[in-house]
Structure 1
Amino acid sequence: MEKPVIGITMGDAAGVGPEIIVKALNSREVYDMCRPLVIGDMKMLKKAAGQIGSEVVINKVRHPDECGFVHGKVDCLDIDLLPENLPVGKVSAEAGNAAFHFVKKAVELAKNGCIQAICTAPLNKEALHKGGHRYPGHTEILAYLTNTTDYSMMLVSPKLKVIHLTTHQGLIEAIQSITPERTYKVIRLAHDTLTRAGFKRPKIAVCGINPHAGENGLFGSGEEERQLLPGIEQAAAEGIDAGGPYPADTLFYKAVRGDVDLVVACYHDQGHIPVKVLGLEEGVNITVGLNGGVIRTSVDHGTAFDIAGQNKADERSMLAALRSAAELAPKS
């Protein structure tokens, strides 16, 4: 089986994106698990390589077919939208516009089957808006470019995979927005994603909303039975190995132990805290459910303008994102 081709988008080139990409691609491990292709700006990659003292060769390509995928020679599909003197560590419309077009090209390549997953370096929302692209971030750009309405956030660490029913909402609003339909759809998204990645029959467990998953009506007002259970039962009736709702305080322990392949969290902190306690450097943000089966993984940090261009950026999150992209890329 061939290793997947992973398109690495540079993000905001005035931030740490170019640096963490070059540092990550200095590692032979990356080439052992995938075939990386940078979609960005060759000038900025060369500048980053010089700043960190890397001797890698930047190989300009026009199409993935021209890539060598050899350690020590970074293949770059050069979009060439940035000026030579782009200010590093500062918000700019040029960098924001380029970041959008890096993602747009990656989606085009994914739709055409030229790459099997997308791994994104961070962008800056202010720069993105100044560049004329009014999106909150990568997820919304990708949803727009793939014409997707049903998608979800998955967080992955070496010992734990978590997908969310809700994310950036207040707790009361989040609980009110959980429905059996949403529960079923997220379980289905998780199952399909893991199945395409090669899991034979992934075991999926759903957290309860209340302490002790309501404990048969002792806590809450029947949210588990009303909002979660019908969706879980629908998924199970279709042959998906899904169970719950289970008490969250013990479910995450069991998941880390290996009893289940993935946990469905009901709200942001319920899922984020366990993953981040296991290690911020190893956590990866993944967008699943994009039309066409496009998998996107992301570093779990921002553009870090304050240290951009200073050889201070840590590439471990980029390495973790590449590992997850290679693991979850569809297997032919």
Structure 2
Amino acid sequence: MPESPPQSLNPGAPALRRRRLRAVFAADVANFGGMVSIEETRTLDSVWFVRRVATEELATHGGWLFGLPGDGIFALFESTVDAVRCALQIQARLRDQPKVHALKLRIGVHLGEVLFQDELPFGETLVIASRLESLAEPGGILVSAAVLDAVASHIAAIFSESGVPRLKHSARRIETFTVSPPPPPGARPAGGVLDRTVGPGPAIPRPPPASRLPPTPDADEIATSPPAYPLAIEPRAKDVAAPAMEAGPAVAPARGGGIDDASLRRLALLLTTHLGPMARVLVRRKAMENPDAAKLIMTLAKEIPTKADQQVFIADARASLAGVRQV
């Protein structure tokens, strides 16, 4: 339903402004201008089909469509979980349509305060969502860290770091993540985080820890055992961060400790699988007390309730930070 501003007691007075926390969904067609210049009629037919798919999914997931500029689509959601699920479903439906295979939709989602006046939304949150959409890969979804924190414990999906890009005409530096569907049951993602909690439908199972891990150690062993191999950062396949983040393997240590910020983000993503959004704050706090990466992993593992999941986290954390020498 459209956002309706409260009625003023004075009919001649301007509409009242108000702010509401909303998830902003922004999408457009990649290389729309180039495709139109080659085959205008077929491209426009495909765009109308994409719009129909998007509007159907927006209605299903409770999104309010407030703009269709050119090849773009803008909507608001009261639920951030519904916004991300809608984005995943739209991309899934479009991948199954061979007649629009050359037409790729880019989607960006951001969560923040939205200003309303005269039933229309305004503000920085809309601009950031639009910037994220422009940075998304064709056929992909890019979300902000605020969105990840809101949905990570509620959606089965893979969240992968995508850097801290410079947003056009904005001084904001926002951590970004790509979102993709979970792998088939029994498969493990190559990177990122697979959250096992799902809305409708079964949860995605993990392989039994005993099939790939040594026996679970006691709590004292977790606190003192050394890493199986040197810990370091695995380079990202795509880095859209600022030049300061593109220094390569040798990255600067994090403030207050000997572990770099990229390592802390990777550990937070992995721990989110077990503890939800609180993992990000927990990793930063524990890192101040444990500047050594190996000790930090063991300390964080003890926050996980079950020993089986502790071992899964330890193995995933070591594998994620392996491959480049530790600073």
Query: TM-score with structure 2 length normalisation?
Result: 0.30
Higher RCO (CA 8 Å, separation ≥ 6 residues):
1
Query: TM-score with structure 1 length normalisation?
Result: 0.30
More helix by share: 1
